[in-house]
Amino acid sequence: MLDYRMETFLALCDTLNYGRAAEALHVTQPAVTRHIQALEEHYGCKLFTYEHRNLSLTTQGEELLRYAQDMAYREKKLIEALEPHGGTHLRIGATRTVGDYVMGLHVASFLSNPANTAEVSVGNTRHLLSRVDNGRVDFAVIEGMFDRTRYASELYAEERFGGICPATHSFAGKTVSLEECFDKQLVLREKGSGTRAILEQALSGRSRALSEFRRVNVVSSFALIMQLLGSLGAITFGYEALCRGNDRLATFQVEGWDVVREFNYVYLDNPAARSAVEAFAAARPKTLDESRHAGRA
């Protein structure tokens, strides 16, 4: 069982406010203070600093947070393993491209075992990494960048990244210059999304910026973006998977760009999380890879 003082520590890390942590734990604020002081005395270091009315973790506090998150996750998986259900329960995170356009067949294959159950959370990279940190998902399959020194990871798939437009657009199936792209209306995801980060990185490599597009619209839903492209005659940038099987959309390439990105399993580096990844990977259907190869041909 996770020590109650560690539970208090995790709650305070989550809220960075003694009062809100006390409310979340249904204890008094002085009790929260005592628990934190007991941990600081036990480990012989300060875990939090309070400056300019803001509470923040010290370097030592950040190290303890990683340890506490790992322990809380392991306990949660132990409780699940002791339940007499006979199957595997997975909590899976996926970025929007992966969750909405890539992973459906894989999840269905995993659930084809009637004893298996799953919870799937779809969100942007930043949100999903926070869910990995606090143990709310066993792993996340993400297309964005992440700190490889903080998380364990394994390759899930590779996908080409480029331009997407309506099938009737003048760019459809062509290779165009970046200057031609700037003359078009752009629809893209919100800050924190993996696809936006990749586009910004590619532009930065050319010393260019999003502000150079004629008009930029931000939409958090890929499904809505795909609809807007046709009605606006606009373009977006993303993975080929977004328009695979949709004859109303087409891809285009930008001169000098050859961007292929990885989708990765990202998880805490412990045996329980690795077992969760292995259980899901074992259910991967061959048709998933066959369809991807056909889309690249």
Same domain, 243 and 269: no
Q: Are 189 and 53 in the same domain?
A: no
Domain of 58, CATH number, reads: 1.10.10.10
Choice between 42 and 292, residue whose per-residue pLDDT is larger: 42
pLDDT-derived band at 294 (thresholds 50, 70, 90) equals very low
pLDDT at 96: 84
Please indicate, yes or no, if residue 74 is contained in any of the structural domains.
Answer: no
What is the CATH classification number for the domain harbouring 216?
A: 3.40.190.290
pTM for the whole thing?
A: 0.68
Whether residue 86 is found in the same domain as residue 208: no
Coil, helix or strand for 10?
A: helix
pLDDT value of position 138: 95
pLDDT digits (tens, 9 = 90+) for 7-37: 999 999 999 999 999 999 999 999 999 999 9
Q: What mean pLDDT is predicted for residues 195-215?
A: 93
Q: Report yes or no on 222 lying in a domain.
A: yes
CA torsion, ordered 69, 75, 76, 82, to nearest 10 deg? 170
For residue 38, the model assigns a pLDDT of 92
Confidence of residue 289 (pLDDT cuts 50, 70, 90): low
Kindly state whether residue 146 falls inside one of the protein's structural domains.
yes
Residues 230 and 175 in one domain: yes
How many domains, in total, are found in the chain? 3
Q: Mark whether 13 and 89 lie in a shared domain.
A: no
Whether residue 75 lies inside any domain: the answer is: no
Q: In the prediction, which pLDDT does 245 show?
A: 81
Q: Is 282 helix (H, G, I), strand (E, B) or coil?
A: coil
123 shares its domain with 184: no
DSSP E strands in 167-270: the ranges are 175-176, 185-188, 215-218, 236-239, 249-254, 259-267
Which residue among 15, 40, 67 closes a domain? Answer: 67
Same domain, 88 and 131: yes
pLDDT band (50, 70, 90) for residue 124: confident
Clarify whether residues 24 and 152 are in a common domain.
no
Residue 271 belongs to what domain range?
A: 80-157+261-296
3-state secondary structure of 59: helix
Asked if residue 165 and residue 95 are part of one domain, the reply reads no
Band (pLDDT 50/70/90 cuts) for residue 292 is low
Q: Are residues 40 and 58 in the same domain?
A: yes
pLDDT exceeding 70 applies to what percent of the chain? Answer: 94
95: domain CATH number?
A: 3.40.190.10
Residues 166 and 245 in one domain: yes
Q: pLDDT per residue over 67-89, tens digit each? A: 888 888 888 777 777 766 667 89
Residue 145 within a domain: yes
Work out the mean pLDDT of the chain and round it to a whole number: 89
- The H-assigned helical ranges of 98-218 are 104-111, 125-133, 178-182, 194-204
Q: Taking 60 as the threshold, does the pLDDT of residue 291 lie above it?
A: no
SS (H, E, C) 74-93: HHHHHHHHHCCCCCCEEEEE
